[in-house]
Amino acid sequence: MCELCDTAGGTVVWESPTCRVVRVADPDYPGFCRVIWTAHVREMSDLDPGERRYLMNLVFAVEQVVRELFTPDKINLASLGNLTPHLHWHVIPRWRDDRNFPEPIWGHRQREGSGPRAIVSDDLLRQALQKQLHPEDNQG
């Protein structure tokens, strides 16, 4: 049984036959996304070189969109999978005043609450990802 094989892992905001991008429902980290490889593989080295490039280009595109829409102070990229051994990347916007900064978001809480954050709908995130990933569809 694999959580990312059995569930979307969040709100799907973009997908292709090989990957999906989901938004994680975490009010302290708006814009937190996961890039999930559709097939059940455990490690990046399970992919062929072309698949690795495709996946990392997708991770970088998601990072760029999150930076533009949410204007964080920093982005954390992580591929851990210790508890969910299904290949996925976390794209996590960070702010100097977020609840865990400078610790990782899974680390010790440093403060309660956070400052105000940009409010971005799933639809706007979806549109921005589509534009970033398929710019040819946006030419008029």
Would you say 31 and 93 are in contact if contact means Cβ atoms under 8 Å apart? yes
Q: Answer yes or no: is 41 within a domain.
A: yes
Which band of pLDDT confidence, cut at 50, 70 and 90, is reported for residue 97? very high
Would you say 88 and 9 are in contact if contact means Cβ atoms under 8 Å apart? yes
Alpha carbons 118 and 77: distance in angstroms, whole number: 20
pTM: 0.91
Q: Answer yes or no: is 11 within a domain.
A: yes
pLDDT of residue 117: 86
Mean residue pLDDT of the chain comes to 92
Q: Answer yes or no: is 140 within a domain.
A: no
Boundaries of domain holding 44: 3-134
Q: Answer yes or no: is 101 within a domain.
A: yes
Average pLDDT of the segment spanning 108-132: 89
> Is the Cα dihedral 127, 130, 133, 135 positive or negative?
negative
Q: Nearest Cα to 91, choosing from 46, 55, 45?
A: 55
pLDDT tens digits along 66-90: 999 999 999 999 999 888 899 999 9
Domain count, the chain: 1
Q: How wide is the angle at C-alpha 41 spanned by C-alphas 36 and 43, nearest 5°?
A: 90
Q: What is the CATH number of the domain that holds 98?
A: 3.30.428.10
pLDDT of residue 90: 97
Q: Answer yes or no: is 139 within a domain.
A: no
